Structure 1
Amino acid sequence: MRIDPQLRALRSDTAPQRKAQIALEAARDAWAHGPARSVLEQLESYGRKGDLADYPALSGLFAEPGTASALIEALMASLLDEVRAHPLGQVPLRHQYKDGLSVLQIAQRGRAALSLITYEETEVDPTSVCFAGGERHEAVLAGSADICEFELLAEAPGRASIDCRTRRAVAGEYLLCEGEKQTRQIRQVHGRFVVLRLSRTEEMPPETRQYSLADGRLLHRASGCRAESQREMATALLGRMGRSDVAPLLARLTREGSDHIRWQTLRECLALDTVEGFGALSAIARNPADPLATPAGALMAQLVEAHPQLSQIEVSQCPV
């Protein structure tokens, strides 16, 4: 294996690497306390509450031409000087790259984040669309792209009516997506496409729903809440492990959380322990105020028809 002489030197003496990181972090902090100070202060408040219009320094990035570009140019100038001086240093900002999409998270405060996103030249033909909620304000800094703007017109069980409009977005534009009924996809990038994105999630994120563009069929749904996603994964893992000893806990958890996570928990409980699961199912079906009462009653009827002995569980085990 060939090891570059600079890397070999760092292995024997890590002080230059520490020096590089201190210099890069100082450059970032100088930008944050200088050109970006008012923007980041208002990002913190916006991350808690209010409309974007309540924060002039932040909203100005999208309302005043050249403001967003000037903010990013100041950051890049500060960081690039130090990267040239310390080429093996690590830029102290969260970043990722995958399949022609690069994301540099400039700052995050509470539920709000400011990110620089670059799309490389590409062309895709989307077959599905995902509605996830939240707010996205984007200032196009460079390049152009053909974008598909989707609006969720109506939803029915397992299906949706979706409107789609394709147009070209160019440098200087302001793009907006608000709420769980709007979203956007990049269809074709001409050369490159760079945007500054301000995003904010809801306090209680809605479910994410993915629909087929061909016929509007529901393909996938998932909780928009990170804690519920973690709970769903943990519950599924316990089910795959066959941990029937946790069935009583899962039965209690069918009364907590969103309708989605409650239903997923109920399914795992039924699979692990028929008695516990059917008792929880019966309790839900018998409560007319429960939004899951109707699907729970339908599932009960199906299960009893297929397995008549379950009717005895309902009588003897189901809590009233």
Structure 2
Amino acid sequence: MRIDPQLRALRGNTASQRNAQQALEDARDEWRDVSASKEIEELERYGAGMPLDQCPALTALFEGSRAKSMAETLVAGTLEALRGNPLGQVPFRHQHSEGLSVLQLAHSGRAALTLLLYSDTGHEAPASACFSGGDRIEAVLAGAADVRFLELLEDRGTSAAIDCTARRVVDGEVMRFSGFAQTKSIERVHGRMVVLRLARSDAAPCDAREFALDDGRLLHRASGSRAESRQEMMLALLGRMGRSDAAPLIAEMTCEGSDHIRWQAMRECLALDTVTGFAALGDMARNAGDPLAATAGALHAQLIETYPQLARLETQKCPA
């Protein structure tokens, strides 16, 4: 296998690698301390819940040319450091998927300042849209795209009424989205479009819901809480591993947290251990003050009708 001389040199000289990374981190710190110090300072207050109109530097980012000049300063400093250290890692949280690149410039509390690059993929416009809550302001720094602005008029649980307005956004425009009912869908990017986004999640995040745009069908639902998302992944992993020994702990999780995570825990508990899960389901169904009692009762009755032998689990454990 051929190893590039530059990579070989770095592998044989750890000090050189550390120096390369330090150069990029110095460029980042200089940008934060000199070019974006006021904005990042106010991001801390905004992330803690302060109204945006009390954060003049952040507000000014989306008025005039301030956002573009701040981004240009960042790119210029980072590229200069990369030219001297091409194998260094850009010290910002980043990710890339088809058609979208994300660079998180700063994060504090519930707020984040992010640079996004949308690219033309040549694919058809998305057939669905996700509503996730929070507040977002997005300034177009370069490029253009055809965008559908969506407003959730009525959420019926398993479907929704969605109003749609489509238009082209171009360099210099600012888009604002407030609360769960507003979002956007990119129909087509004309080449590339660069956007600076200021976002703040809700103090009590609601569930994110994805709806089909043709008929408003609910396609997917996920917790808006990062902690609950981690719990949901943990539950799914334990379920796929067949860890029936975790069923008692999962049964306890059906009593705590949001309705979403409690019901996910119930599903996994039933799948892992019928005795433990069915007992937890019965307890939930009999608790009249539980908002999930009716749903649990309906499932309880349906399972007994389909599998009559489960009725015996109300008074005794299954011999298996």
**Identity percentage of aligned residues:** 58
Equivalent position SS for 2:107: strand
Q: Equivalents in 2 of 1:5, 1:269: separation in Å?
A: 54
Change (3 A) 1:246 1:8: closer
Structure 1, residues 33-60: CA drift from partner, whole Å, max 9, x if none?
1121110000111111122112110111
Show the counterpart of 1:141: 141
**Aligned residue pairs, count:** 316
Relative to structure 2, which stretch is displaced further, 162-171 or 113-122?
A: 113-122
TM-score normalized by the length of structure 2 = 0.92
Q: Which amino acid aligns with 2:184?
A: R
Tell me by how many angstroms 1:312 deviates: 4.0
Structure 1 position 305 matched with structure 2 position 305 = yes
Show the counterpart of 1:21: 21
Change (3 A) 1:276 1:14: closer
Relative to structure 2, which stretch is displaced further, 158-167 or 277-286?
A: 277-286
Tell me by how many angstroms 1:19 deviates: 2.2
Q: Which amino acid aligns with 1:189?
A: V
Q: Equivalents in 1 of 2:9, 2:241: separation in Å?
A: 48
Q: Equivalents in 2 of 1:16, 1:250: separation in Å?
A: 49
Show the counterpart of 2:224: 224
TM-score normalized by the length of structure 1 = 0.92
Q: Which amino acid aligns with 1:108?
A: H
Q: State the 4+ residue runs in structure 1 displaced beyond 6 angstroms.
A: none
Gap regions ≥5 residues in structure 1? none
Show the counterpart of 2:109: 110
Gap regions ≥5 residues in structure 2? none
Tell me by how many angstroms 1:191 deviates: 2.1
Q: Which amino acid aligns with 1:10?
A: L
Tell me by how many angstroms 1:316 deviates: 6.4
Equivalent position SS for 1:29: helix
Tell me by how many angstroms 1:198 deviates: 0.9
Show the counterpart of 1:85: 84
Show the counterpart of 1:67: 66
Verify the 8 A CA contact 1:122 1:190 in the aligned structure 2: no
Structure 1 position 192 matched with structure 2 position 213 = no
Change (3 A) 1:237 1:6: closer
Change (3 A) 1:83 1:282: same
Show the counterpart of 2:129: 129
Q: Equivalents in 2 of 1:129, 1:271: separation in Å?
A: 31
Q: Equivalents in 1 of 2:248, 2:30: separation in Å?
A: 55
Structure 1, residues 243-292: CA drift from partner, whole Å, max 9, x if none?
33332222221111111111111122222333322222122222222111
Q: Which amino acid aligns with 1:80?
A: L
Show the counterpart of 1:266: 266
Q: Equivalents in 2 of 1:287, 1:82: separation in Å?
A: 62
Verify the 8 A CA contact 1:135 1:199 in the aligned structure 2: yes
User: Superposition pairs for residues 284-303 of structure 1, below 5 Å?
Assistant: 284-303=284-303
Change (3 A) 1:268 1:48: same
Equivalent position SS for 2:112: strand
